[in-house]
Every structure is written in structure tokens, then in C-alpha cells.
Amino acid sequence: MNFLMKAMRWMSGRYGTDDFSRFLMIAGLAASVLTMVFRIPLLSIMGLFFVTYAVMRGLSRDHSRRLKENQWFQKKKYKVTQTYYRWKNKLQQRKVYRYYKCPSCKQKLRVPKGKKKIKITCPNCSAQFVKQT
């Protein structure tokens, strides 16, 4: 019991884990597994670095710095996931809609397929152009 109390006291005030730490741990473990498959020593070193950095982040007492790192990671993660969902949505709608860019303002426009030649009016700049759908 004495050891448990000492460990709890030692861990108090530490940062702990967050999304960035979990990502680093998963990336480190994935690199280690890939090392076993492909026998590339650089992957092993990268995996060890990722896991070590994740543990060091968890044991850190500098909360503001770790929070900034996690916010940076969250922004990058958001960009990647939004790009993925945009492409997925566009792929699902490819049979129903066509996508065009406005020639003047480059706004992406979605128009229904099968309407032959139509005049498209951009809602952003009010430019009009004719396209085959």
C-alpha cells in the first residue's frame, strides 16, 4: 500500500494522455509491427521515438505546452478528416450530381445530372455559364 501511495503522489500534477499521445502510441506500435514484417530498422527507431515521446508527454508537468501540442494536432486531424468526408460525400453523390467550378470566382457548384444543357448561375458572384450535365 505504501508503494501505491508513493506512485499516486509522484503522478499528481502530471499531464496524462490526450489524443496526440494516443496517436503517437498507435503510430509507434504500428511502426514496430511494420518493422517485424518488412525488416526496416528505421521503422523500429521511429516507433521507439514515438512511444518514448508519448510517455514523456504523459509524465510532463508543463500543461500549457502539452495543451498547445494537442491543439495543433487537433487542427491537423480536423483538416484530414474533413478532406476525407468531403471526398467520400462526393464519391457517393457522383451518380446523381455533377460538379463544376465557376469560371470567375472558382466556387465549386453542384448541379443535377441528366438535365442536358443548362445555364448555371453562381450563388457567390452571380456569374452565368452554360454546361452539359
State whether 62 and 104 are in the same domain. Answer: no
Identify whether residues 109 and 69 lie together within a single domain.
Answer: no
Domain containing 123 equals 98-133
Q: Among residues 126, 95, 129, which one has the least CA distance to residue 112?
A: 95
Angle at 24 between CA 52 and CA 3, to 5 degrees: 50
CA nearest neighbour of 55 among 13, 89, 16, 102 = 16
Report the C-alpha gap between 7 and 5 in whole angstroms. 5
Report yes or no on 4 lying in a domain.
no
What is the reported pTM? Answer: 0.72
Does 62 share its domain with 102? no
Verify that 59 and 110 share a domain, yes or no: no
Q: Any alpha helices (H) in the chain, and if so which ranges?
A: 2-11, 19-38, 41-59, 63-92
pLDDT on residue 7: 85
Q: Bridge-partner residues for 121, per DSSP? A: 128
73 with 105, same domain: the answer is: no
Q: Are residues 22 and 82 in the same domain?
A: yes
Q: What pLDDT was estimated at residue 115? A: 86
pLDDT given for residue 8 in this prediction: 86
One domain for residues 81 and 40:
yes
Position 5 in a domain: no
Give the pLDDT confidence of 70-106 residue by residue, as tens digits: 999 999 999 999 999 999 999 999 899 999 999 999 9
Say yes or no: 36 and 83 in one domain: yes
**Three cell numbers, residue 84:** 476525407
Tell me if 7 is assigned to some domain: no
Q: Do 88 and 65 fall into the same domain?
A: yes
Q: Domain total for the chain? A: 2
Claim to verify: residue 20 and residue 68 sit in the same structural domain? yes
Determine the pLDDT at residue 10: 87
Q: Which residue numbers in the chain have pLDDT < 50?
A: none
